[in-house]
């Protein structure tokens, strides 16, 4: 039996006499140099590509899977909620790294509770993690809730909201990071400059001169995360809408 190339999958033909028997006519691979794993692995064909595409589509469908029963009133409420969060997203992105708009939002007061708890939570891991823990916890906690809604309760819309919240926490941190050099923002408990988390973190890591770049990176990542969460919520809502239309009763 004529060999099949382990690299490109070409099946050698009897008419391929213009190329040495030990070399693949298509890609030039020396058959003997192919690894055992590659030699026994069949090439990807159209069926394999279809399977990969189907797996990807199946995962996206799972991410936006509607619940077994969808209430029309709840669907309308979720539409209103999604529009409100979309407007909120535009507000944060439109104002940029601005302390008055970010720190003046009532959501900042909620984030601050989890920020302060993060300092306590990470205290056993040393001084650096104690300082970083506040910012880290306020970003990670919504992700924990997202996983709970996604895997335990199978509420993909609520999971999307939690992802949005995580992104908003990154935006919430951006003015704090940008202030690392000047340390002028008001701190909880009236702490002095020595209590500035990001001022201390960037000083300890030698990145103080990069404070503006890191602040912009946090703001950008947070903005992209919020937009991605809105897209996730929107796709999930649309599938729920289709389910309500197909089962009006």
* DSSP 8-state class, residue 42: P
Cα–chain center distance at 127: 28
Question: Within a 10 A sphere around the Cβ of 64, how many other Cβ atoms?
Answer: 18
Are 83 and 100 spatial neighbours (Cβ–Cβ below 8 Å)? no
Q: List for the chain the helix, strand, coil content (%; round to 5).
A: 70, 0, 25
- Residue 116's contacts (CB-CB under 8 Å, 6 or more residues apart) are 134, 188
Residue 85 phi/psi, 5-degree rounding, is -70, -30
Per-residue pLDDT at 160: 96
Instruction: Please check whether residue 64 is in contact with residue 232, taking contact to mean a CB–CB distance below 8 angstroms.
Output: yes
Helix, coil or strand: residue 82: helix
The confidence score (pLDDT) of residue 38 equals 47
> What angle in degrees, to the nearest 10, is found between the helix axes of 211-246 and 197-205?
120
- Give residue 179's Cα distance to chain centre: 26
pLDDT of residue 108: 96
Tens digit of each residue's pLDDT, the chain (249 residues): 778 777 777 777 777 676 777 878 777 777 777 655 444 455 555 555 456 656 767 788 888 888 777 788 989 999 999 999 999 999 999 999 999 999 999 999 999 999 999 999 999 999 999 999 999 999 999 999 999 999 998 899 999 999 999 999 999 999 999 999 999 998 876 667 788 999 999 999 999 999 999 999 999 999 999 999 999 999 999 988 888 887 765
- Dump pLDDT digits (tens) for 88-129: 999 999 999 999 999 999 999 999 999 999 999 999 999 999
């Amino acid at each position: 039996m004529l060999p099949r190339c382990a690299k490109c999958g070409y099946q050698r033909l009897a008419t391929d006499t213009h190329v040495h028997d030990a070399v693949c006519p298509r890609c030039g691979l020396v058959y003997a140099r192919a690894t055992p794993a590659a030699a026994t692995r069949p090439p990807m064909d159209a069926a394999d590509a279809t399977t990969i595409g189907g797996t990807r589509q199946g995962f996206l469908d799972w991410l936006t899977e509607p619940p077994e029963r969808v209430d029309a009133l709840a669907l309308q409420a979720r539409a209103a909620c999604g529009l409100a969060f979309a407007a909120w997203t535009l507000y944060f992105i439109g104002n940029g790294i601005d302390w008055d708009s970010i720190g003046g939002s009532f959501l900042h007061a909620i984030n601050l509770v989890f920020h302060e708890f993060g300092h306590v939570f990470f205290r056993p891991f040393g001084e650096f993690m104690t300082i970083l823990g506040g910012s880290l916890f306020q970003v990670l906690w919504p992700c924990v809730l997202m996983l709970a809604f996604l895997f335990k309760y199978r509420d993909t819309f609520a999971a999307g909201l939690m992802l949005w919240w995580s992104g908003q926490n990154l935006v919430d941190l951006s003015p704090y990071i940008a202030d690392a050099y000047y340390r002028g923002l008001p701190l909880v408990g009236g702490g002095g400059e020595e209590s500035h988390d990001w001022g201390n973190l960037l000083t300890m890591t030698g990145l103080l001169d990069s404070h503006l770049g890191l602040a912009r990176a946090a703001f950008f990542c947070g903005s992209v995360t919020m937009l991605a969460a809105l897209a996730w919520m929107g796709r999930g809502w649309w599938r729920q809408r289709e389910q309500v239309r197909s089962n009006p009763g």
